[in-house]
Structure 1
């Protein structure tokens, strides 16, 4: 049942998407590649005509790949930033409307905004002129709505990040001061590039639905989904969600310490253990408790025979490796799913104090089918 496919290892990363138009509008380090989705669609939906879901939609790779194939897809995420990125990438646009909006923004007369309400732990990532420009354009976007607003807002988010001092190192956002371009010019160039990208990506007519939602309780009809392609947060890498805190504060009003992109998974260490015989770390118990509830919701949403494809990674702890690729199929079995294949995509060492080896971790694609 387990098969090594290390040749597909890069497809478990976002790296291949960096050169693809539209896919690269929002760089999502923790995502996977378009081509992984295409392989799964070739295998499990070669004729189309299915409903695909991603309950951890991230930056929308699954949905955008489905749109290339003309396959209806449905995405959910607890993060408004993830929802914006996914929606902006998959919207149907009128190029002339976007051109007019970009022109209007480029001609807007600057008025210095008050930045006194911005907390210091956000200000530290920007020079004053950049932050003032970002807040000015954020105010200007209130004059737009619908798909045009999504387009302009995602461009603003990504431009603000690239013109900042933010350096995202794993789960930590560091200040790395450097020369930054004039924000207005950078933002306008970014929007014009995005506009050109739209004509470079060929898509087919289909329905794409994106909204904020908790994977444990989704607003979708029972027995509606044929195929789930997703990547839940990796065990003990949950803290990486905090690296989007500045963006969520500036553009969605989220308190800077409130939550990250997949806030709920594994965050309640008081949870009753799902695998009491394993003596797992408390955060692992919480993780598997949430994953059990997610799988239960997948069972409700999926029709009999539906396929789940989960990209997951083992957890590295000082005392041991927790093998998600072993325990998740056990949970799935209890929730009515049979594991058909486990493809090992990457192998990495778990170390303690950066040098002492604890064991080997695997990053896997687990394919399950609803009974």
Structure 2
């Protein structure tokens, strides 16, 4: 996740041209939210349903009262299925798990997505797991002790809870969600465009770009070469969105990581679709880096992808801040490994 300041600065620079903002690897919607703050229309694509669910909320607008009314309605229905694996039995108290399953199934049964449901879903995902509060009246999460940025694997979690003699807190799902949404300052602020422009699709193909025309400002951060396990690391949130109640290691990824050449060709396909949609010019800003454990050169890969796509002029390549600076996921996970080395690129179509 790159910091909000990055797309905000770019959007401020280009706002007078009124471009359409596009992020083909939108993740959790940082660029989308920056476009909202800047008053510009935006489109975002990602293959991760977790990322898309959170990004949609960045373009939704509703009152806290309406969100809580929907949550109350959904929580009144008895769930049809409650996972009974050792993980779920120890991750949540019986009453909290029952409420959580009611909310999950209720959201999945909705005929049509609304601003309220998009925000409620994203809020629930944010509360699904995290640190266990000492004062349950202030709890911000539903779960037993867990990281908040990723879901630890089931077997490891159960062993950890048993060893530490940790018991899942008995918390009210509605109360936790209420505390969550009350902390969002611009929940009901005006928004340009619709959350329906955030789609769970593969940016390598042409279909997502069909309705995008005009001047395009693309601000994105593709998955770094070798980064393959986002959905698996978010398996519990994926379950809440309708996925299996265990880790699925066969989940398809968007960009191929089988070789540098395959990776470059897939990135090039995305740049080509963006360029074809830009009937009135395009500025492409990319923040891209390397994983310390994977041998690759971010600058070489990105330049090669632009050359493969053809018709691009690279205006600059500069070193970005490291992934450990600011409120970044690398810092939140408290990893002992080195932070990713990142670079910023700016290219235009010629």
TM-score band, normalised by shorter chain: 0.7 to 0.9
Distance 1:361 1:180, change over 3 A: closer
Distance 2:193 2:240 in 1: 33
Q: Deviations over 1:80-104 (max 9, x none)?
A: 2222111122113255533433454
CA contact (8 A) 2:129 2:148 kept: no
Match of 1:62 among 5, 23, 31: 31
Distance 1:198 1:104, change over 3 A: farther
What are the within-5 Å matches in structure 2 for residues 145-294 of structure 1? 145=112, 146-162=114-130, 163-165=142-144, 166-167=146-147, 173=153, 174-175=156-157, 176-177=160-161, 178-184=166-172, 186-195=173-182, 197-199=184-186, 202-206=189-193, 209-217=197-205, 218-221=207-210, 223-224=213-214, 226-253=216-243, 256-257=247-248, 263-267=253-257, 269=258, 282=259, 284-294=260-270
Which position in structure 2 is the counterpart of 1:345?
Answer: 320
Match of 2:343 among 364, 367, 371: 364
Distance 1:132 1:242, change over 3 A: same
Distance 1:229 1:167 in 2: 29
SS of 1:47's equivalent in the other structure is helix
Q: Deviations over 1:36-72 (max 9, x none)?
A: 11111122x1315210101111111111111111100
May I ask how many residue pairs the two structures share in their alignment?
313
Distance 1:198 1:99, change over 3 A: farther
**How far is the alpha carbon of 1:250 from its aligned partner?**
3.2
CA contact (8 A) 1:242 1:259 kept: no
Q: Deviations over 1:118-152 (max 9, x none)?
A: 66666664455443332133234446852222222
SS of 1:307's equivalent in the other structure is strand
CA contact (8 A) 1:48 1:71 kept: no
Distance 2:263 2:174 in 1: 39
Which position in structure 2 is the counterpart of 1:6?
Answer: none
Q: Deviations over 1:229-285 (max 9, x none)?
A: 11111112222442112221232235741566x822225x2xxxxxxxxxxxx3x34
Distance 1:124 1:363, change over 3 A: farther
CA contact (8 A) 1:215 1:294 kept: yes
Distance 1:79 1:112, change over 3 A: closer
TM-score, normalised to structure 1, is 0.71
Which position in structure 2 is the counterpart of 1:136?
Answer: 102
Which position in structure 2 is the counterpart of 1:32?
Answer: 2
Bigger share in strand: 1
Distance 1:81 1:239, change over 3 A: closer
CA contact (8 A) 1:152 1:191 kept: no
Unpaired segments of 5 or more residues in structure 1?
1-30, 270-281, 349-353
Distance 1:242 1:182, change over 3 A: same
Distance 1:68 1:75, change over 3 A: same
Q: Deviations over 1:7-36 (max 9, x none)?
A: xxxxxxxxxxxxxxxxxxxxxxxx112111
Unpaired segments of 5 or more residues in structure 2?
131-141, 324-334
Please, what is the CA RMSD of the aligned residues? 3.6
CA contact (8 A) 1:266 1:290 kept: yes
Which position in structure 2 is the counterpart of 1:11?
Answer: none
TM-score, normalised to structure 2, is 0.75
